[in-house]
Amino acid sequence: MYDEENLERKETLKGIFIKIVLVVLFIFVLMMLFPTKGFVTNYVDEKVKESLIGNDNFNNNLLAMATAGSGYFTSSRLPENTGDKVKMTLGEMYDNKLLVKFSDSNNRTCNNNKSYVEVTKEEEEYTMKVNLSCSDKEDYIMFHMGLDGTSFPSTSTARCEFVKNLDDTWAYGKWSSWGTKKISKTSTNQVQTKVSKVQNGTRRVSHSNVITNNAVKINYNGEPKYVCASSYDNAGTYNDMVTCKKTVVTYTDEPVYRNVTYYRSRSKTLNKQVDTKWSSCDDTSLIEQGYVKTGKES
C-alpha cells in the first residue's frame, strides 16, 4: 500500500516537471517567432535612419551638381539651335574645379561618366537634366528656363558672389605711333627703332660730255690743211687729219638724303587677375577652392 502511494507521488511530480518544461519551451518559441516591441522598434528605426541618411546624401550630391551646373551654363554656354545639347560629366566638373569630389552612402565615389549635367534647347525653353549615378542609387532632376533667361534657377533660395584672386600677370599694351622723339627703354617700357632715309634738300650737279668730230679739210696755197673750229678745245689748223674735241657741261638737281631714327614703345602693366563666380550662398565647394564671399546677393 505504501509502495503504491509512493509511486503515484513520483508520477505526479514527473508530470508537473514535464508540464513546466513544455511551458518554458512554448514561451521561448513565442519569443523567437514574435520579438519584443523594443526589438522591433529599434530594428525599424535603424533601417529607416539608414534609408534617410542615404537619401539625404544622394539628394545633397544631386543638388550640388545642379548648383554647379546652373552657375556654369550661362547664356554664352547655352546651345544655339533647337534640339542642340551641351553636356558636362561629373568627371569634367571635377577637372574644371566646379565641385570637390564626393561619395555616396556606401563611401564610394559616384560614376564620373554616367553622372552628368545636360542642357537642351527646346522650341520654347531650355531644360537642364542633372543625372547622378552612384553605387546605392541612380536618379535625375529637371530644371526649366525660358529662352530669354540668362541662367538656370538656383537650387538654393539665394545666390552669392564669390571671388578668388589668381596669380598676377604682366601684359604689354598696344604699340605707340612711330615718332622721331627719342624714347628710352625701361623695365616696364619696351622700345623699337627703325632708320629711314629722308630727303632734306637738293644739290646742283655738273656732268661733262666730250663731243668729237673730224677736222675740216681745206686747200691753203695749194696745200691741204685740216681745221678745227674755234668752238673746239683743240681749235686750229693742222697739216694732218685730226679729231676735233669739245667738252659740253650740263647741270642737274639731285635730292639730298639724311638718315632719321624713328621710335615707338609699349608699356608693360601688372594685371590683377580675379575670378568671379555666382553660386548658392552655402556652396562650401567654392570656399574649399579658395573663393570668398563679396557680400553681394541676388
Whether the Cβ atoms of residue 199 and residue 256 lie closer than 8 Å to each other: yes
**What residues does each domain of the chain span?**
45-155, 158-168+275-298, 189-271
Q: Can you give the pLDDT at residue 1?
A: 46
- Alpha-carbon distance of 277 to 154, in angstroms, equals 13
The per-residue pLDDT for range 82-126, each reduced to its tens digit, is 999 999 999 999 999 888 888 887 888 899 999 999 999 888 888
Q: How confident is the model at residue 22 (pLDDT cuts 50, 70, 90)?
A: confident
Q: Which amino acid is at 82?
A: T
Q: Give me the pLDDT at residue 172, please.
A: 82
| Alpha carbon distance 216, 227 (integer Å) | 5
Confidence of residue 3 (pLDDT cuts 50, 70, 90): low
Q: Are 155 and 286 in contact (CB under 8 A)?
A: no
Q: Is the pTM of this model over 0.95?
A: no
Residue 241 has pLDDT above 60, yes or no: yes
pLDDT value for 206: 92
**Residue 41's pLDDT band (cuts 50, 70, 90):** very low
